Amino acid sequence: MVILTCVLIFFGFASLTSSFVIFGRMVKDTLHHLREVSELDENGVVTEAVLTHLEPSGARGFASAVYEYEGPGGRPFSQRSGVQVTPDLMIGNSYPIVRHHQFPSRFRVGTKEDVAGLRRRQEKFLSGVRRFRLGSAVLGLVLITTAGVLIATTSA
């Protein structure tokens, strides 16, 4: 009975810890990305960018790309972005981007519809992470409560 109680307490605290540490970090990071994408979705400026440089990255099927485009006031701007390598990705071609109206380094390759779709996917992901976080916390509390009941009934 002692071993079972110790296991319940261990997994209870592990579940509670993960709900605050791991899932908490995921919520924080997702909220940060969601704010950026939401801002682009609501106030982004659609423009064309020319792919000027492409080099393989460490991940298979991905590359580091440099795009040049017009920033605020029409001044030229260059920014690096990670991209998935596809046959139609060629240096010198123009691609649509959505950039921040004031800060040109904040951009996403694609159209406004692509950005809106990304926003919806991130909102859905955030909702799922929050549910997992709540479930993990509840599971931890149930396990610790069960261990407490076991201790109380065996002590009496």
Are 47 and 97 within 8 A, CB to CB? yes
Residue spans of the domains in the chain: they are: 2-155
Mean pLDDT value of segment 2-9: 86
Q: Considering the entire predicted model, what is its pTM? A: 0.76
Cα separation, 43 vs 68, whole angstroms = 20
Query: What confidence category does residue 142 fall into, taking pLDDT thresholds of 50, 70 and 90?
Result: very high
Please give the structure tokens belonging to residue 96.
Answer: 């649509």
Check residue 156 and give its pLDDT.
62
Mean residue pLDDT of the chain comes to 90
User: pLDDT higher for 69 or 152?
Assistant: 69
Model confidence band, residue 126 (pLDDT cutoffs 50, 70, 90): very high
Does the pLDDT at position 60 exceed 70? yes
Distance from C-alpha of 42 to C-alpha of 148, rounded to nearest angstrom? 51
Does residue 59 surpass a pLDDT of 80?
A: no
